[in-house]
A and B are shown apart, each in its own frame.
Chain A
Amino acid sequence: MSRQIFEMSNADPAALVAVRQRCAAAVAKAGMDELEEAWAALPERPAYVWLRRPETGLAMVRGRIGGTGAPFNLGEMTMTRAAVQIALPDGATVAGFGHVAGRNGRHAELAAALDAMVQHPAWRDAVERQVVTPLAERHRARKAAQAAAVASSKVEFFTMVRGD
């Protein structure tokens, strides 16, 4: 398994993008408590330097009616971004970028650090196994629990056609 991941390292850009997207999504949707816990449990946490300290700003959220209509501006949301860089033993560097909703700088910092780690074969496996998968799983469970909780109040509307 680890050998396979190693070979995937940077040879296949599409696979690398997919891994980073999974990681970014899981980290962005996670709560801070569970994220800190998963981070602290990682076997190795490399030192990193700031490329960009956490900055809070606004991003315009755009939408399309039904997912297909003309795009419109839905409104602005607060978001925080950060970028870090990990120096590798061979002199190369790997940069990670974090973007999260809200104004928690530490959240963006961890998102950036994990994004950098998941790009390197030395850490990718551990991050996937111990951070991305469990966080994504818990997010799915939370969504499912909420969907189940509100499902009982769902009302179906039918149009009765009167046949005379």
Chain B
Amino acid sequence: MEPATQAIDAARLAPGLADPVHGAQSVFRAVLDAMARPGRIVAVPENVLAAAPPAPLGRAAASVLLTLCDIDTPLWLDRRTQAGAADYLRFHCGVPLAADPAAARFAMAVEADALPPLDAFDLGSDEYPDRSATLVVEVAGLAAGKSGGTALTLSGPGIAGSAALTVDRLPDGFQAQRTALAPLFPRGLDVVLTCGDRLAALPRTTRAEEI
């Protein structure tokens, strides 16, 4: 998939998960909880990372990628993440980098505006909807309820009635693009929003309305 593999600059690597097995299990549980209860803000356990991740990755984003990515899941990175953290992710996960969003199983963007159109990613197939891409997007603010930023009202599986989530901020048109993908279910994209050491999920089944 990757043509020539570039050498990793070992002198600039940061340590990854402090305890790879148990750390990855606890982060996996955090992601699972967030996915099962869309809009709920979950903190990744403290001290799962042995050291601060390289900029521009936040602790939650780095933990999620170290937990979920491996040699079988090509990863698409936006330009800033590519410049700062590509070696870190390649070393610790052995993950191949995908230049083409359509080839990626995971995508990481530190600026939501840096994302290509959502339908450029692999949406899975009707036979294998699980093979779609999962997007990890770092945002400046994440809060339950209403406050500054893009206020969303969420409903769907895993939510009793409705839930409120405020994201600072989603790029223009992001929500419209998610809505446009909804009729394709079971195909679709799952999104994990990260902010520092907290995360929330917007799985493909969650309907979100901007208010």
Contact = CB atoms under 8 A, between A and B. Distances in A.
B144 to A, nearest CB: 36
Interface stretch (B6-14, B77-85, B198-206): B6-14
B13 A95 contact: yes
B116 interface: no
B contacts with A: majority SS? helix
B88 to A, nearest CB: 10
Interface in B1-20: 10-13, 15-16, 20
Interface string B88-126: 000110000000000000000000000000000000000
A52 B50 CA distance: 11
A97 B10 contact: yes
Nearest to A93: B11
A141 B14 CA distance: 40
Contacts of B20: 53
B180 interface: no
A49 B11 contact: no
A85 interface: yes
A94 B13 CA distance: 9
Contacts of B10: 83, 95, 97
A93 B13 CA distance: 9
Interface of B: 10-13, 15-16, 20, 50-51, 91-92
Interface of A: 49-53, 83, 85, 92-95, 97
6 contacts: A49-B50, A50-B15, A51-B15, A53-B20, A93-B11, A95-B13
Given A85-B13, A93-B12, A95-B11, 18 more contacts: A49-B15, A49-B50, A49-B51, A50-B15, A51-B13, A51-B15, A51-B16, A51-B91, A52-B16, A52-B91, A53-B20, A85-B15, A92-B11, A93-B11, A93-B13, A95-B10, A95-B13, A97-B10
